[in-house]
Amino acid sequence: MWFKNSRVYQLSSPLSVDLAALEQALVEFRFTPCSGQQQSSQGFSFPFESAQSYCYQNQHYLFFAIKRQEKLLPATVVQEEMQPRLEALEAEKGRALSRKEKDSIKEDVTFELLPRAFSKTQLVLACYDQNKQRIMINTSSSSRAEDVLALLRKAIGSLPALPWLDPYRLSNCLQLWLQSEQLPSSFQLGHEVELKAPDEEGAKVRFSNHLLTTEEVQSHLQDKQVTRLELHQEEGLSLKVCDDGSLKSIRYHDSISSKNDELGWEDADARLAADSLLMASTLSAALEQIAQAVTVTKDE
């Protein structure tokens, strides 16, 4: 349940439904496994099994999750099943088949094979910070995050959510931060950065496990833009801020991740509540510091 990546969205107005109404709205769109010929299915699931709730509240944080199931049907399997049928039909008609005819056979074969296909299931956890009106989604994929938002909109009717940071302003900040200027409060430069030239060739350079203040790194700012930059806090978070506003490779210092170890797991519900609150509050505080740094830079 510790977020390792995150797509973050800012709501222009708070969710107007109470917890009971929100729970009922999510129940209406709960997950059901793929039927025989269904290629994919998604819906709300329990964010934590022990909670047995589609919307789990912990102080001012609301947790929910979307489960997605997809049938795995490799193209090579479909092609292998299609080939004898294509050859037989071409021999019968005495000509090559048209694209439309081939597509029709492919659809038939796919429909027949789906009930025997293996399934892949993925759970995407999300957290809504009621105080900051932000949704944090545990994924680095924009499409997966949009799936979460789309299903939420369908369930509650409206969700005025936009990416939490303006990409242009963030890009300017990343340039400054790499120069150790106007860094977010409590954050320091990490040891990894990626830069890319804005021209058509888009030359890229990446430094890993490297001192980023050296001339070797800083010289690339003359003709390249920072696309990913690692920041870290002393005994806090370490993360990579990307120029599209996503956060990747989130790591929690041992002093945080082990803070609730004394609780053990005998009472799983209590441990789950403590860990989820610790994770959400730690990540939310880091987001606020980054957002404030971007805002200050923008105003100047």
Whether residue 64 is found in the same domain as residue 81? no
Task: Indicate whether 106 belongs to any domain.
Answer: yes
Domain that holds residue 221: 167-299
Instruction: Name the stretches of the chain with pLDDT < 70.
Output: 298-300
* Side chain identity at residue 230, one-letter code: E
Residue that has been written with the tokens 């994929």 in this structure: 141
Q: What are phi and psi of 228, to 5 degrees?
A: -155, 130
CA distance 202 to 93: 51
Task: Indicate whether 95 belongs to any domain.
Answer: yes
Task: Indicate whether 289 belongs to any domain.
Answer: yes
**101 Cβ neighbours under 8 A, 6+ residues apart:** 89
Whether residue 271 is found in the same domain as residue 128? no
What's residue 300's pLDDT? 47
What is the arrangement of strands in the sheet containing 247-252, beginning at the earlier edge strand?
Answer: 204-208, 187-196, 225-233, 237-242, 247-252
Whether residue 235 is found in the same domain as residue 285? yes
Domain end position, chosen among 128, 163, 198: 163
Task: Indicate whether 1 belongs to any domain.
Answer: no
Orientation angle between helical segments 75-93 and 99-113, nearest 10 degrees? 130
Instruction: Write the DSSP symbol of residue 85.
Output: H
pTM above 0.75, yes or no: yes
Task: Indicate whether 174 belongs to any domain.
Answer: yes
Whether residue 193 is found in the same domain as residue 241? yes
Task: Indicate whether 142 belongs to any domain.
Answer: yes
Whether residue 59 is found in the same domain as residue 134? yes
Instruction: Write the DSSP symbol of residue 6.
Output: B
pLDDT single digits (tens) 17-37: 789 999 999 999 999 988 877
CA distance 194 to 225: 8
Whether residue 124 is found in the same domain as residue 199? no
Helix (H) or strand (E) holding 127: strand 118-129
Whether residue 233 is found in the same domain as residue 295? yes
pLDDT single digits (tens) 271-298: 888 999 999 999 999 999 999 999 877 5
Whether residue 215 is found in the same domain as residue 284? yes
CA dihedral 142, 284, 28, 22 (to 10 degrees): -150
Whether residue 28 is found in the same domain as residue 143? yes
What's residue 298's pLDDT? 52
Counting every residue written for the chain, the total comes to: 300
CA distance 6 to 64: 14
Task: Indicate whether 49 belongs to any domain.
Answer: yes
Please state the domain count of the chain. Answer: 3
CA distance 131 to 217: 39
Task: Indicate whether 2 belongs to any domain.
Answer: no
Whether residue 138 is found in the same domain as residue 263? no
pLDDT single digits (tens) 232-267: 999 889 999 999 999 999 999 999 999 999 888 888
CA distance 139 to 136: 9
Count CB-CB contacts under 10 A for residue 144: 17
Whether residue 69 is found in the same domain as residue 79? no
DSSP reduced 3-state for 96 = coil
Whether residue 108 is found in the same domain as residue 254? no
What's residue 109's pLDDT? 84
